[in-house]
Structure 1
Amino acid sequence: MKATPLAIPDVILFEPKVFGDDRGFFFESFNQAKFEEAVGRPVHFVQDNHSKSTKGVLRGLHYQIQQPQGKLVRASQGAVFDVAVDLRKSSPTFGQWVGAHLSAENKAQLWVPEGFGHGFVVLSETAEFLYKTTDYYAPAFERSILWNDPDLAIDWTTDLAPVLSAKDQSASTLKSADLFD
């Protein structure tokens, strides 16, 4: 598995070695030892999540201000553009974002560490999205930042009008959000 730190080095793109023939394919989707070597620290996952969305659905930018979740994310069906935003005020990359195309075809995964906001937009007709988290979902601590916050200026790589939940429509701006130290 190839591990590539992105422009924000704490966010890592994992690209598996895929073995295929006329019967189909095989790849190792997760290996704890290789993952921790790439991340540079022990990581314990406690929950796996699975969502399905239609084209244009934009989920995010989500995070938990307490019980922060690191997330290892991938698209098992379809294609998404996935985004991580550094929300750690003490970080040299605070307020910056990185993104990656994740799809069933490329089988890539993105590590989004604790202290980051996370979101994705669906580029295919439908997409199934899988992710492991390092802490449990805690609705009382869940926060959202506007997907189109002008201070972030995220390029979602699509001209689709996003389909948003009510929660994401009323999300905070970066300037008014609860952030990490």
Structure 2
Amino acid sequence: MELQHTSLKDCFVLKPKVFQDERGLFYETYNQKMFEKVAGFSIDFVQDNQSISSKGVLRGLHFQNGKMSQAKLVRVVKGKVLDIVVDIRKDSETFGKSFSIMLDDVENLQLFVPRGFAHGFITLSEQSIFSYKCDNYYDKASESGIIYNDATLALDWYLPKEEFIISAKDLELPTFEEAVS
């Protein structure tokens, strides 16, 4: 497993060691000892989630507040997504900055999203299976987010807006300024 730093403090990409031959391929999606070795800290993941989405489905930007904040290790099992994170930690040197990465079932990269980040993705392939581990349980009362088209963040979601499929709930999310105030 190889760690690649991103432009955001504490957010990084993990590249697995892939073993491939005529039968196909194999790689570890998570190994606690290797994670601790390359990341320099330990984490206890308590929940594993998966979503299946068709092309154009935009999920996010989501986060949980306070003591229910979550760190996530995200990956794509099938397909291709554009994954975006935004640092919403007011005391961070990268507060208000975003990072995006293509995650797919070819490179098998994983993104570590620290606590205090808003997170979302859009499916670019005909279908995606998106998997993520969380270090805290989902708590509806702590749930929040940022509207996908926030003018302050000016995020590029890669697809034309007319191809987006967004839940009614995500269309009602606050702006970045409202979410962090």
State the Cα deviation string for residues 120-141 of structure 1 (Å, max 9, x = none). Answer: 0000000000000000000011
Question: Which amino acid letter does the alignment assign opposite residue 28 of structure 1?
Answer: E
State the match for 2:65 in structure 1: 65
Within 5 A, what are the aligned runs for 1:35-114? 35-66=35-66, 67-114=68-115
- Most deviating of 141-150 and 28-37: 28-37
What TM-score does the superposition give when structure 1 sets the normalisation length? 0.95
Within 5 A, what are the aligned runs for 1:1-181? 1-66=1-66, 67-159=68-160, 161-178=163-180
- Confirm or deny: 8 A CA contact 1:65 1:178 kept in the other structure: no
Unaligned runs of 5+ in 1: none
Unaligned runs of 5+ in 2: none
State the Cα deviation string for residues 105-150 of structure 1 (Å, max 9, x = none). Answer: 1111000010000000000000000000000000011001011101
Question: Which amino acid letter does the alignment assign opposite residue 139 of structure 1?
Answer: K
SS of the counterpart of 2:170?
A: helix
- Confirm or deny: 8 A CA contact 1:10 1:39 kept in the other structure: no
SS of the counterpart of 1:61?
A: strand
What TM-score does the superposition give when structure 2 sets the normalisation length? 0.95
Give the alignment's Cα RMSD to 1 decimal: 1.2
- Confirm or deny: 8 A CA contact 1:4 1:12 kept in the other structure: yes
